[in-house]
Amino acid sequence: MRTGKLIKIIAYLILAGFVLRFITGIHLPAVIVALVILMVLLFTGSNKKNVKKEEQLPSLTKAKEEHYSESGMTDQEITFFRDTMNTTKKQIIKLQENMNASTKLRAIDLRNDTLRVSKALFKELVKEPKKLHLANHFLYTHLPNLVDLTSKYLEIDDHEIKNKQTYEKLEESAQIIDQVSKLIKKDYEQFVADDLDDLDIEISVAKNSLKRDNEHSENEE
C-alpha cells in the first residue's frame, strides 16, 4: 500500500473517530485505536490473500505469453491452462517425493517410468497447450489418484506395528499403484500418437521421394 493512500486512510479513521465520539460518547483515543486495529487486520488479511495467490500461480513471462498467443489462446484459456499446469506441477513434485520415499514405490516407478513419463507429458502440454483436453484422464484422474494412493501407502507403511491385514492392504495398494502407473504411460502414448502418425507420413513421403530419385538415376544410366 502506498504511503499517500495510507495517510488518507488514517485521516479518514481519525475523522470517523470524532464522529463516533460525538454520537456515542466513547473516548476518542479508544475509538481511533479500535479503528486502526481494524485497518491493520484488514490490510494484513488482504496481503495474505495476495501472497497466497502469488504462490499459487507464478508470474507470466513474456516468452510464455507470446507462445500462448501464437497458439491462438484467449486470456481465459491462458489463465485456465496456467492454473491447471501449476496444479499438475505440484502433483508431480509430490509424486516424486512419494515414489522416492519407499523401496516398493521406487520399484514401481522404475518398472513403469512413471515419473519420467509424467514429466514428459507435462512438457508436451507446455509445448502444445491447445491439446490440454487430450490429457484429461492424466490431469484430472490418473495423476491425482496416484498422488493420493502413494501418500496413503506411505502413511500405512509408516505404522510401527503391522499385522497380516496391514501387509495385505499394502500389497493391494501397491498393485493398484502399479496399474494406475501403467495408465499414465498409456495416457502419454495416446497423447503423442498423432505426432507418431505424422512422422510415419513424413517417412513414407521421404521413402517415395528417394525411390523416384533412384529410379530416375537408373534411367539416366
Only one residue has cell 488482504, namely: 46
pLDDT tens, the chain, 221 aa long: 555 555 666 666 666 666 556 665 655 555 555 555 556 556 555 555 544 444 567 788 888 888 998 889 999 999 999 999 999 999 999 999 999 999 999 999 999 999 999 999 999 999 999 999 999 999 999 999 999 999 999 999 999 999 999 999 999 999 999 999 999 999 999 999 875 544 444 454 444 555 555 655 555 65
3-state secondary structure of 59: coil
- Report how far residue 82's alpha carbon sits from residue 170's, in angstroms, rounded to the nearest whole number: 35
Q: What angle do CA 30, 35, 37 make, to 5 degrees?
A: 95
Joined together, the cell numbers standing for residue 99 give: 515414489
**Chain centroid to CA 219:** 60
Q: Report how far apart the first and last C-alpha atoms of the chain are (Å, whole number).
A: 83
Other CB atoms within 10 Å distance of the CB of residue 143: 26
Task: Give pLDDT, residue 6.
Answer: 58
Task: Give pLDDT, residue 126.
Answer: 94
Task: Give pLDDT, residue 69.
Answer: 87
- Residue 32 CB partners (closer than 8 Å, separation 6+): 13, 14, 17
Task: Give pLDDT, residue 12.
Answer: 62
- Residue 135 CB partners (closer than 8 Å, separation 6+): 121, 125, 187, 191
